Amino acid sequence: MPQERLQKILARAGLGSRRECEEMIRQGRVTVNGIPAHLGMRADPERDDIRVDGRPVKIPPLMGFALYKPRGVLSDPMPGSSSPSVYDLVPSVRPLYVVGRLDARSEGLILLINDGELAHRLTHPRYEHPKVYHVLVEGRPETETLERWRRGIFLDGRRTRPAKVRVIRYEGAHTWLEVEMREGKKRQIRRIAARLGHPVRRLIRIRIGSVTLGRLKPGQWRPLTEQELRQLRSLKAEKSPRSRPRRAEQRSAAQKG
């Protein structure tokens, strides 16, 4: 296993946030192979003897849950809020990191895993892991409207990345769409749909990367399968794709539309 920064290893072992683990190192509480650690030090948790306050540091095996977050449930606990969070719906395991936050009005698949670095990779748009949603919008979007969505529209001064959008079915005066994206600005789908004149009535995420919602009902969860865990582990070895310079991307987008 390649070496990594010591504070990342300690955080993965559930000993605190990276900042808290950095403070442990500063306080001289951490040793590597019997030598006092220092900030910037790297180690291999499978080969090196890493200790905090004299106790060996053990990295727990990757595990996690797939959860159907119901509407009204928060993706993160909020101090003073009476609303439940996703942590109230799954077994009490620590640490657990949320992959794929959803606003309170939205529902569907959320992952909770015990590896913070992997959670970051699955969440950050740089790594381009797809997320798929079923979205009920008002009205019946025309073909050109859907093409605008697919090409991307400007939000906060930047064009959104291309998305896959298709009609699933019509439901009275409303339309169910399937939307696949590889980025996730705050309330992006709701903002795009409203900008295009078709506000969202319901939003359900059905897939994150290779993990699907399946037959889960609101509030239900299941452990991630061994196959899903293997696929997630493989993502840690992937390099992030090269991104085009944002200025060049904006100029190109402006010329198109």
Any idea which residues carry the catalytic annotation?
A: 103
42/182 Cα distance (integer angstroms):
32
H helices within the chain, ranges in order?
Answer: 6-12, 18-26, 116-123, 143-151, 188-195, 226-235, 246-256
- Using an 8 Å Cβ cutoff, are 102 and 205 in contact? yes
Q: Rounded to whole angstroms, what are the CA distances from 178 to 46, 135, 190?
A: 43, 6, 13
| Cα within 13 Å of Cα(231), Cβ side | 13
112/115 Cα distance (integer angstroms):
9
- What residue has token string 């990594």? 4
Dihedral (C-alpha) 209, 201, 188, 153: value to the nearest 10 degrees? 110
